[in-house]
Structure 1
């Protein structure tokens, strides 16, 4: 398995490269955002470990550009530890988010989890009420109106609609959308649901995304 690390702090990058190499991975390193993006777009790598603050272009821009054409798993590894930063990284298309300083054993566990995750085989299209999802083209419409979603918003909506009528707990959502264990002190799921509601339900008479108090969330057609 080939891993690309985009990290401008050279000591940290060298530590990661040596440690992951000892764990059996082929590791390449870039210290610059522009060069790192070019390498990541080559299609040669199975996993990207990405810092946020980088010279050239930052990690946010890298994943935005990358997600236009690539589904390579991305693990953010950064000192930016705010909830909004974690939410942003995951919504832009990150698969996991680990804050520095970190334990290498935890990093390795997350790397292994991302690399063994099977590829998704989604349905071609999904619908609930007047909401329609073209899964292959990653397009969402409601009442004929196009809705622009981030990668994580799309994945969240797709999960809810696939299980329409069913209540999904926060831990189920976190596990399937972000491939992470749910921490009761983390409101990543609630923030993502709130943002998704603004795009999917605001301005429409019937609300599709429902909160089931004490249990989680569900999508259901026009229920009171």
Structure 2
């Protein structure tokens, strides 16, 4: 189920958006401000964040930039401001869309679906991350000039992590996606596969690495060389 973070200091907006999204089949995580939102992101795999601009303390522009920099997630900004300079500030912060209050809740759903389609591209046959390219059609991983033919589960795990670089995936999400919801093993199986992937990648490149996020899961870190 797609998980949506809703950050707004107005409890009515949080309730309205949360209820609307739940009725459409989304799982929602309401937050009253930036600190609570970042706490949720540290512990939970989120697919998209809906963020209010005008909040006490850390405003929505700053939170949007943090979400983009730390987690690489799509963001939709909600705001009472409709001036072009305000929209410019939102897009410069990294938002994917911008909705001016008051708005129809269903409009938010339409826009969310459009943003998620841009990010969720499992049909993409090629994924590039740093010096690494993953070809889904022939299960080939190329790092620099080296080609790796990985066991199927290792390939699926690496492809999932690489599909959203710098996004944190929870252990439960990785296990359910790669091994299936009926998997009878435990986290040790995941940890073994992660160790094997690290052992294969680390001698070949410094541009990508599988990083542990303590208490949550893993992410594929990507940096410029």
TM-score between both structures, scaled by the size of structure 1: 0.51
Structure 2: which 5+ runs fail to align? 132-225
Residue 77 of structure 2 corresponds to residue 76 of structure 1: yes
Distance 2:93 2:87 in 1: 10
Query: Which residue matches 2:31?
Result: 30
- 1:91 shift after superposition: 1.3
User: Matches of 2:95 and 2:41 in 1, distance apart?
Assistant: 14
- State the alpha-carbon separation in 1 of the partners of residues 6 and 63 from structure 2: 13
Secondary structure class of the residue paired with 1:87 = helix
- Cα distance in 1 for residues equivalent to 2:115 and 2:62: 21
Contact 1:10 1:31 in 2 (8 A): yes
Question: In the alignment, does 2:19 pair up with 1:21?
Answer: no
Between the aligned partners of 2:6 and 2:52, the Cα distance in structure 1 is 8
Q: Is the 8 A contact 1:3 1:28 kept in 2?
A: yes
Post-superposition offset of 1:41: 4.3
Select between 99-108 and 35-44 the one with higher mean Cα deviation: 35-44
- Structure-2 residue corresponding to 1:87: 88
Following the alignment from structure 2 to structure 1, what is the Cα–Cα distance between the partners of residues 31 and 91?
Answer: 22
**Cα drift, residue 124 of structure 1:** 5.8
Q: CA deviation at 1:110?
A: 0.4
Equivalent-residue separation in structure 2 for 1:40 and 1:77 (angstroms): 19
Following superposition of structure 1 onto structure 2, how do residues 2-151 of structure 1 map, counting pairs within 5 Å? 2-42=3-43, 44-117=45-118, 118=120, 121=127
Shift in Å, 1:28:
1.0
1:114-166 deviation digits (Å, cap 9, x = unpaired)? 122245956869xxxxxxxxxxxxxxxxxxxxxxxxxxxxxxxxxxxxxxxxx
Q: Are the aligned partners of 1:41 and 1:66 in contact in 2 as well (CA < 8 Å)?
A: no
1:77, 1:99 within 8 Å by CA — same for their partners in 2?
A: yes
- Secondary structure, counterpart of 1:57 in structure 2: coil
> RMSD across aligned C-alpha pairs, in angstroms?
2.0
Contact preservation (8 Å) 2:51, 2:75: yes
| Higher normalized helix content (fraction of residues) | 2
Task: Output the TM-score relative to the length of structure 2.
Answer: 0.51
- Between the aligned partners of 1:66 and 1:41, the Cα distance in structure 2 is 11
1:33–1:62 Cα contact (<8 Å) kept: yes
Partner of 2:71, secondary structure, is coil
User: Residues of 1 paired with 2:41 and 2:100: CA distance?
Assistant: 21
Instruction: Give the aligned partner of residue 202 of structure 1.
Output: none
CA contact (8 A) 2:68 2:74 kept: no
- Once residues 38 and 81 of structure 2 are traced to their aligned partners in structure 1, the CA distance between those partners, rounded to angstroms, is 20
| Change in CA separation of 1:66 and 1:18 when aligned onto 2, cut-off 3 Å | same
Question: Does the CA contact (< 8 Å) of 1:41 and 1:70 recur in 2?
Answer: no
Match of 1:205 in 2: none
Task: Give secondary structure in 1 for the equivalent of 2:46.
Answer: coil
